[in-house]
Structure 1
Amino acid sequence: MEKLAVLIQFIFIYSVLGDSTYYSSYYGLPLTSTQVAAYTSNGTVANCTVAVEACDETEPRRIDGTCNNLNYPSYGATRTPYYRILDASYHKKSSSEFEPRLSSSGTELNLTRKIRTSIWAEGRVDDEVLTSVINHLAVFFATDITNTRDTTNYVSWRPYCCKSAGKTDYACTPNHVPKDDFVHRFSGIRCLNMTRPLTFQTSGCAPNTTTPLRIVDATPLVDLSPIYGNTIEKARRTNSGGKLVTVTVNNRINFPDTSTLNLLLGINFVGIILFWNNHNFIADQLAAVNPCWTDDQLFDAAREINIAYGVQMFYYELMATLMGKDNLIADGILSEDEGFRDLYDDTKLPQIALEYPVVLRWMHSLQDGDLRMYYTNGTYKSTFPIVDLTSNTDFLKVNDTMDYVTQGFFRQPTANSDDYVADPDIVQRGLGRLQRSNDIMTNDLAKNRYFGFKGYTEYRNHCFGDSITSFDDLTDIIDVERITQLQLLYKDVTDIDLLAGIWVEKKKENSHVPPTFYCLVKEQLERSMVSDRHWYERESRPNAFTADQLAQIRKVSLARMLCDIGPGVTEIQPRAYELPTTDNVIVSCDEIPNLDYSYWADDTCTTSS
């Protein structure tokens, strides 16, 4: 019977593998058939292995992300490892127990809920510059490269972590609420559900004695994988005209229901309504200038343009607005020249820094819990709590709701982080109906610890060479009243959590973000650019754009996208991430620069063919 079982395993492996080679998702090395059989037998083959078909250096970007780096072909696929900017810092109770680091005096750090409520008051204050769409698109692009199942873990798989069953489950790490909590001292809630991050170790891909490293479902490349998936899925395509599938609800075109969507409304809206429909818009434009192209030709070209569209908008518009265009030009992230540039370095693997997604969570301080809707003429219509739309997109399919929501994305201000006021829905009802109470920003700080990050002062040293040994050394970078708060929360300056330090920093000059946020995010922006063999600005990449085509991509803007595919959008301010002002006046869509798709016309394909 054992020989028969082994034979069946080998038959299964051969049928799946075909012309592919299996690699370890964690180590990035080729696996033998025996090793693959072992993963198959214990049910971990999906998490712990990457199947890579033979690479062709002339082929375009693969949907699964493999063969991006020809020397390490599995890197770029899903479930390949992050890297750490700084080494991990854990309190090890045993060889397999990695707990959050202790304070410099050897005691446990203060409760994360206590720290969050001490730094952030609760209320709603509108920002005077930024629109709410900047948050939604930032979250979408973060999901493109860092999508995890952490929330699903404690919402669906382990909803019991605050109950007696959670006390014996190592995966449970609930956030405890102090008795004098400003909100919950009268509610009776003393625990907020949360679990440890899912890792290669908990997934059976690496020994549990090795340092935990989170495992993710997204490719580490900016490739719009929330739209196209990370495997070839014919079900996403109409197989006609190069388009993605849409459905008609209440006589209006809408996105399909799919399990790949993130729980958050902003990601569903931006990812599907914008980039999903933008793909179809591009496919139509390409079909008009290339009537003889096949479905595959149209799909592949539309996907390539849509990805470039997204990356150009993310780097040159969204991050330029948030972090300061001149800052990013000075640091070599953005180019002042509109032509090609090639910064590719095949010694840099396409990976995400473990710090990056946690640092990005600072942006929850900009998150407004209200979804404000407007009529197409800009008149305010109504408000709906955005957390009540978690894992629920039916709301968007009723009547003209999509039109009103779209208008709100470029008319509604985001929250103002300068006043240290957190939106009450974000920090009390973060998951809406899915959980009685959820403090997203407390969870952010707790995950900071469970990822094993060193203290804030060590990252200041990494970024700026600072040698911070006392609270007095913070006076140039943090306001005095905030330093006093930190002294009440942390016994020693070296105890300060990375995210907590970023929360209270003064903003970087000519930007909307704290300096350490800027530093660590900038490192990832650079890494994503130099490690991607298919980066859209490269002249020498496979299927590279022509100079004229790249010039068209340089014209990309959120305003243009919303004019093209945003329901009911006929006018908008050119800088859609910023509120209308005297130098950012709302204008007709006819005045927003448009892409000329004739530059993608195939000379061999004429209207008479």
Structure 2
Amino acid sequence: MKYIPHLCILLGIFLVEVSTLLPSPLDDSPQMIEHQSKNIFKINIDEIEDAIEFASKYTGLMNRFENTIKSPTRIVPGTPAHASFLNLQPDQTAVDRGRQARLALKASCQLAYSTCFKEHMNLIECNENLQQMSFHNTSLGFICDHLDKKCSPEEELNSYRSIDGTCNHIDKAYLGESYTAYTRFLNPHYINAFEIPKRSVSKAMMPLPRKISSTIVNNENNPHEYLTSAFTQWGIFIEEDLSRFASTIMIHYNESIGCCDEDGLTFAPRYIHPSCMPIAVPLKDKFYKTKRVQCMNYVRSITALRPDCSMGHREQMNQATHYLDGSQIYGPSAEKSLHLRDIESGKLKTSIIDNKPFLPLHTDAKQFCMVNSDTDVCFKSGDNRVNFIPQLTVMQTLWMREHNRLAEELTQLNEDWDAETVFQEARRIVIAEMQHITYNEWIKYLLDTSNLNKIVKYDDFNKHIDPTVSNEFATSGIRVLYAMIPNIISLMDENNMENSTLRLLNHFNNPGIIVTHFDSLLRGLANQRAQKIGVHYSMDLTNNLFADAKFGYDLLSFDIQRGRDHGLPGYNFYRQLCGLPKVLEFKDLKDVMSKSARLSLSLVYKHVDDIDLIIGGLLEKPVDSLLGPTMSCIIADQFMRTKQGDRFFYTNTNQPKPFSELQLNEIRKVTLARIFCDNSDIGNIQREVFKNIDDSNSPVSCTDDSIPKLNLMAWNYGSEMYLL
């Protein structure tokens, strides 16, 4: 009889993975419970090892299944599924750690089902208890090794931050490291408390993400009164720095997972991988019904170990470092960084095209971009999303050029520096410039005065502040900026006049246009109006994302589905967390939403607790900022912790090698306008590139003193300026 429970759990866990359509096995809906368990039990080591053995067997059983499906479900290059996978492709470290975390999750599930039922404890209480237990001192203890890292004296006193984020916090070396879990504001809402995506409070299925998107979103042009596309792209560039999701790949093979075929049709059940969570398209969808598309390929995010290597629910992995440290430029690991560097000069690698420096090129372009030939333009950087849209590629190129510009001048000023010192000093300045622009130039347009005051209040590092990026920020908060992307990309001439336009849908993961129109795209960033945050999404993002000749995807549907995959509670719970009253009916949302917004929500959701966080955030009325109160709360929290929890933040005077006051004064001069000028041939630009041109913000020459330039003599350690 010993193995009967295990057989039941094998079936149960398989259903956990493959289906979100089954009724909840719980009497208590997990999203209705937020409390600490009063029932405490202990699990002996034999029970834990039994669960680990079972999890290993379950993982082994997947081998034959994956071998059977890997050919029929292989993602076809050039399709929307392929482009989506490129943006979410896991690095090998993520794959290796993800497989370990998956084993830990399966062992936790087994313990819950076999032990908690015996203790007459519901799964939510069981999960809370398991979180107090660790895989240390078990046969799985080896998976905790990277979380147990101790900083050496050399690492503690290193003048430069590590590439992967380790040893920023000396006492907890892993804090902020790449390939670690996001943190959470609230416990996740999974049906079984561990990993099955939630159902409606009414026990019905949650509304289809595409149904929500097509009902609530309209594609009308809705330009902001004064903010430019540069504002939007800077926010997305910062998102790349702080957060990078990763899609699960096969457990036993380094193969991507297809959940729908190349025509958007659903696979037969026997080919559905347990990590599939495809986005179903409603039969009467006005756009997709003519294309006969049934589903969009969504694969669940890679599982991550809990930070203390404890047992418990599913967590998701961040492939980026959790610091604002240029990881999208330099890479999230020392290994990846080395591939991007010119070791002999301290510069970043480039490709020279038409006598201009661009990012290095892939030699097998069709594998990494939506292009027709392997010799077409397809760029490499520290982040796979570099080719997502042309404006983002331009931003990545600018900062590669800025690093190399600094490296070259630093080499001339300090002839005794070796290439490593040149690289690290240039990188250090680049990160400081990015942090300064974000906190002093960009964020003031995003947040209200109250939240801004909280962020600017502290400059010193606080070792008690956890900088880890929150799941809520990464999955919903910062994602609302995508609503600001216009459908049409403007190209501007030297007089800042539009001379031509590009359609967004023609340039997803196809960056070749920047080679011939780099300066025109840059001027477009500074002159074209951004859209307002809200439900006015670009048609090319909601219908034509990564479109091939047949069809494209819907970005907002993916954001909704990802929130459910990650177990985010509903918008109503975050309202309450951020100081608003929890509502009982849709009409009660009148404190932050218009009548039309409340009506549209009631048409797709059965209960206010079901409203997805990103949808609630998009529909909130702005309060003295671009955002409503809930998203402001989530985003402000992240930027506060990103600053205070970073020992190497540029203003912190207690780091091993702080910037001198002279150097800080130079960094404080930097604006994005100066970065544009120094790394392009645009000639002139307005001083505040996040604002449109007007009488108070008119274009000036790049040589004008009103766009101050950082003086690197402050880094010439033998100069009179430095010695003053």
Whether 2:393 is the aligned partner of 1:295: answer: no
Are the equivalent residues in 2 in contact too, given 1:370–1:384 (CA < 8 A)?
yes
| Structure 1 residue 532, shift from structure 2 partner | 1.0
Letter in 2 for 1:265: I
Instruction: Report if the CA contact (8 A) 2:178-2:333 is conserved.
Output: no
| Partner of residue 275, structure 1 | 399
Please tell me whether residue 452 in structure 1 is matched to residue 567 in structure 2.
Answer: yes
Q: Using the alignment, how far apart are the partners of 1:434 and 1:210 within structure 2? A: 44
The amino acid of 2:708's aligned partner reads: P
Closer/same/farther in 2, CA of residues 435 and 444 from structure 1, 3 Å limit: farther
* Aligned equivalents of 1:547, 1:456: Cα separation in 2: 44
Contact 1:318/1:577 (8 A) holds in 2:
yes
AA partner of residue 670 (structure 2): V
1:127 aligned counterpart, secondary structure: strand
Alignment-mate amino acid for residue 158 of structure 2: E
Distance in 1, Cα, partners of 2:436 & 2:301: 31
Of residues 147, 152, 158, the one that matches 1:54 is 152
Alignment of 1:107-256 (within 5 A): 107-150=204-247, 157-161=256-260, 162-165=265-268, 168-200=272-304, 210-232=312-334, 233-256=337-360
Q: Distance in 2 between matches of 1:357 and 1:579?
A: 28
Q: Indicate whether 1:390 and 2:508 are aligned.
A: yes
Preserved contact between residue 413 and residue 579 of structure 1 (Cα < 8 Å): yes
Counterpart residue type for residue 283 of structure 1:
A
Counterpart of 1:100 in 2: which secondary structure?
Answer: coil
Give the aligned partner of residue 81 of structure 1: 181
C-alpha distance in 1, partners of 2:212/2:229? 26
| Count of paired positions | 558
Provide closer, same or farther for how the CA distance between residues 559 and 63 of structure 1 changes in structure 2, counting only shifts above 3 A: same
1:495 to 606, 610, 619: 610
Check the 8 A contact 1:63/1:229 in 2, yes or no. yes
Please give the alpha-carbon distance, in whole angstroms, between the structure 2 residues aligned to 1:542 and 1:30.
Answer: 34
1:28-53 Cα deviation digits (max 9, x unpaired):
999899868x66xxxx99xx778766
Q: Deviations over 1:452-501 (max 9, x none)?
A: 11111111111014132222321121111211111222222222221111
Residues of 1 paired with 2:279 and 2:140: CA distance?
39
Aligned to 2:710: 595
Tell me the residue number matched to 2:473: 356
Tell me the secondary structure at the aligned position of residue 464 of structure 1.
coil
How far is 1:88 from its partner?
A: 0.8
1:435, 1:30 → 2: CA distance?
48
Query: 2:445, 2:249 → 1: CA distance?
Result: 32
**CA spacing shift, 1:370–1:267, aligned 2, 3 Å:** closer
Amino acid aligned to 1:381: N
**Which one of 400, 407, 432 corresponds to residue 523 of structure 2?**
407
Shift of the alpha carbon at 1:387? 3.6
Change (3 A) 1:63 1:182: same
Percent identity, aligned pairs only, is: 26
Read off the aligned partner of 1:578 and give its amino acid letter: K
Q: Is this contact kept in 2: 1:290–1:605, CA < 8 A? A: no
The one-letter code matched in structure 1 to 2:340 is R
**Among residues 527, 530, 540, which one is paired with 2:644 in the alignment?**
530
**CA deviation digits over 1:105-148, x for unaligned, max 9?**
21112111111111111233333311112222211211112112
Q: How far apart are the structure 2 equivalents of 1:435 and 1:267?
A: 25
1:476-491 superposed matches below 5 A: 476-491=591-606
The 1:84/1:312 distance shift into structure 2, 3 A limit, reads same
Match of 1:124, as an amino acid? Answer: N
Q: Aligned partners of 1:195, 1:67: CA distance in 2, in Å?
A: 32
> How far off its partner does 1:274 sit?
1.6
Mapped contact 2:219–2:539 kept (Cα < 8 A): yes
The one-letter code sitting in structure 2 at the alignment partner of 1:329 is: L
Deviating more after overlay: 116-125 vs 351-360: 116-125
CA contact (8 A) 2:228 2:690 kept: yes
Q: Which amino acid aligns with 1:354?
A: N
Q: Distance in 2 between matches of 1:238 and 1:553?
A: 25
2:582 to 458, 467, 472: 467
Aligned partner of 1:17 in structure 2 is none
Gaps of 5+ in 2: 1-99, 105-130, 362-379
- Give the Cα separation in 1 of the matches to 2:134 and 2:714: 42
Partner residue of 1:540? Answer: 654
TM normalised by structure 2 equals 0.71
The 8 Å contact of residues 122 and 421 in structure 1, kept in 2 or not, is answered as yes
The 8 Å contact of residues 131 and 409 in structure 1, kept in 2 or not, is answered as yes
Q: Distance in 2 between the 1:267 and 1:371 partners?
A: 9
Q: Match of 1:63?
A: 163
Cα distance, 1:237 vs structure 2: 2.5
Q: Secondary structure at the match of 1:406?
A: helix
Residues 1:573 and 2:690 aligned together: no
| Corresponding position of 1:104 | 201
Alignment RMSD, CA only? 3.2
How far the C-alpha of 1:542 sits from its partner, in A, is: 1.2
Q: CA deviation at 1:281?
A: 1.5
Cα pair 2:242 2:320 within 8 Å, conserved: yes
1:346 aligns with 2:346: no
Instruction: Please give the per-residue CA displacement for 1:403-451, whole angstroms capped at 9, x wherever unaligned.
Output: 2111111111122345x32211010111233983200011111111111
Code of the aligned partner of 1:282: L
**Conserved 8 A contact 1:349-1:531:** yes
SS at 2:556's partner residue? helix
Q: Distance in 1 between matches of 2:425 and 2:134?
A: 32
> How many angstroms apart in 2 are the aligned matches of 1:255 and 1:51?
34
- Whether 1:284 and 2:408 are equivalent positions in the alignment is yes
CA contact (8 A) 1:342 1:538 kept: yes
Partner of 1:13: none
Q: In the alignment, is the contact (CA less than 8 A) between 1:101 and 1:449 conserved in 2?
A: yes
* 8 Å CA contact 2:505, 2:547 repeated in 1: yes
Q: Which secondary structure state, in structure 1, belongs to the residue aligned with residue 499 of structure 2?
A: strand
**TM-score normalized by the length of structure 1:** 0.84
CA distance in 2, matches of 1:206, 1:181: 44
Which segments of 5 or more consecutive residues in structure 1 lack a partner in the other structure? Answer: 1-23, 336-340
Distance 1:379 1:29, change over 3 A: farther
CA distance in 2, matches of 1:364, 1:63: 28
1:253 to 1:342, Cα distance in 2 relative to 1, 3 A: closer
**Hey, what's the Cα distance between the residues in 1 that align with 2:549 and 2:653?**
48
